[in-house]
Structure 1
Amino acid sequence: MNYKTYKPHKDLASIVKFYWTLEVPFDPNNQKQKIVPDGCIEMTFNFGDKIKRFTSETDFVLHPDAMLMGQRTKSFDILPVGDVDTFAICFYPVGFANFIKTALENLVDRETPISELFESEETDELERQMIQANDSQERIDIIESFLLKKLNEKNTISTIVESTVDTLLKTNGTTPIHAILKGDVSKRRQLERHFKKQIGISPKQLSKAIRLQATLSLLLNKKSETLTSIAYESDYFDQNHFIKDFKDFVGITPKEFLGNEQMALSALFYK
């Protein structure tokens, strides 16, 4: 697997987390790969063969070649049918709401063709340019030109959403929502409403996804020696609480995750 990341333009740095590319030659022995929620929204362009996303053990849908992958509330399995050649834009949790008026709760747990989110003429031209680009840097230039143009059509992001997401990112999802809102029940209802529209999932779901991302990094990079120490560093109540949350999101326990061939892609992303 050839996985690379790239930094965004300074005018997009608060919105775009990074760009990434992935190239994987086809291997008939490839197994399904489990993708874990990370609290981010991604726009992806597929220049290789089709990719299956499984809806059950045997049923699947094919990913659109140019799509937006909305927030995820659970893990899911994918399997390329041939060579992988992907370019993607990883947006911060509140990032993509800057570009569309569609409520992001409508995009949760699904892959949406970008032609459904923007004008078809401009998406056709964008796809054509991305396909014909000579390298990753040229693709970055193309997508940044598109995003910066869209950014000028400014959509207002709620202050309460921005401040909550900022706190969750800074504390790896460990700060309770009631503590961020200082116990104000009316603000909680307002926050839930704005989160559904501008993030797609609830504050609690995002908090869990961000915390999971931090614990995966600790787990994969062996920055903590035991599950107990990971639970402690990630501010879980105890090891059982950590294992339960992990299994709810990933589908298996932390111990089962390590060394599992179906987790190779997720492990690559988090290292």
Structure 2
Amino acid sequence: MNYKQYPVHPALKNWIRYFWSYDVCTSATEALHIRSFADRYPRLVFQDICSFSPIKDAQGTIKPICYLSGVDTQPTDAYWESHFSHFGVSFQPHALHFLFGINAAELTNQTPDIQLLDKTEIPVLLLNAKNHLERVSILSEYFYKRTSKSKGDVVIDHLFLGNWADRLDNEKNLATIASHYQISERQLQRRFKQNVGVSARKFARVAKFEKSLPALSLADYGSLTQLAYDLEYSDQSHFIKDFKLFSGLSPYEFVKQSSLGSESASFIYIEELA
């Protein structure tokens, strides 16, 4: 599997974390299963379904050629064969509201075709591109034009530009943030959910869960209590409860399974046939 990340132009870094591509072309055909866990980073996914295997959801429906995925708070499953070419964008948490002018809560746990939000030729342009670097250029130009027409929420923008986004885990911190920006806590909560798609507290829980994924790969099951405290959970049971909620697996089940690769909080496995 060939996974690559591509840098972002400085003018787009407030909204885009990186571009990525994932390619596999083998003579053997295997069924692959991708488990996508809760993820605080929205994304755009393009798939070349003319020459390669398409992504199918759990019901067997083929996903659009180019689709958006909002912030995820629950695990989902998708499938394809080991002959695929995907290209994507990893956005900052508050990017979709800014770039598409939509209430981000409408995209939480959703994967709409990009053309439902913008009647754009982007899917065709990406399909006709010669390589992934050309796709980076196409989407960079597309999103740069959208930024010039968009107006962000100054408070939420500053929150993510600074270190405030890592301090949303309790009411005291939320009150401090609201006071800093001279707005009410209720107004902060409303604006945060509109821009990001989930409440500040839910966002903090998902962020904490995501931090546990790489940490688990270095830990043994007997050290879960210490890991829970390191991640600032009140105890191991709360850590396990949140992990199951956001991944559908226990920490032990996650560590036991060997993935072929990953992108953000999505992991690829060989599908076990009945």
1:238–1:210 distance in 2 versus 1, CA, 3 Å? same
TM-score by length of 2: 0.84
TM-aligned CA deviation for residue 240 of structure 1? 1.4
Alignment correspondent of 1:103: 103
Partners of 1:15 and 1:224 in 2: CA distance: 37
1:204–1:60 distance in 2 versus 1, CA, 3 Å? farther
1:184–1:91 distance in 2 versus 1, CA, 3 Å? closer
Partners of 1:166 and 1:63 in 2: CA distance: 36
Instruction: Please report the RMSD computed on the Cα atoms of aligned residues, expressed in angstroms.
Output: 2.8
TM-aligned CA deviation for residue 255 of structure 1? 0.9
2:131 is the alignment partner of 1:127: no
**1:53-95 deviations in Å (ceiling 9; x for gaps):** 22xxxx3432111111111110101101562211101001012
- Is 242-251 or 19-28 further displaced after alignment? 19-28
Which sections of structure 2, spanning at least 5 residues, go unmatched? 268-274
Partners of 2:200 and 2:81 in 1: CA distance: 36
Q: What aligned pairs does 1:222-261 form with structure 2 within 5 A after superposition?
A: 222=219, 226-261=223-258
Which sections of structure 1, spanning at least 5 residues, go unmatched? none
Partners of 2:231 and 2:96 in 1: CA distance: 27
- Give the letter aligned to residue 84 of structure 1: F
Partners of 1:62 and 1:177 in 2: CA distance: 42
2:143 is the alignment partner of 1:147: yes
TM-aligned CA deviation for residue 156 of structure 1? 2.3
2:69 is the alignment partner of 1:69: yes
SS at match of 1:87: strand
Partners of 1:140 and 1:159 in 2: CA distance: 29
- Give the letter aligned to residue 149 of structure 2: E
SS at match of 2:130: coil
Alignment correspondent of 2:270: none
2:183 is the alignment partner of 1:179: no
Report the identity percentage.
23
Partners of 2:220 and 2:54 in 1: CA distance: 36
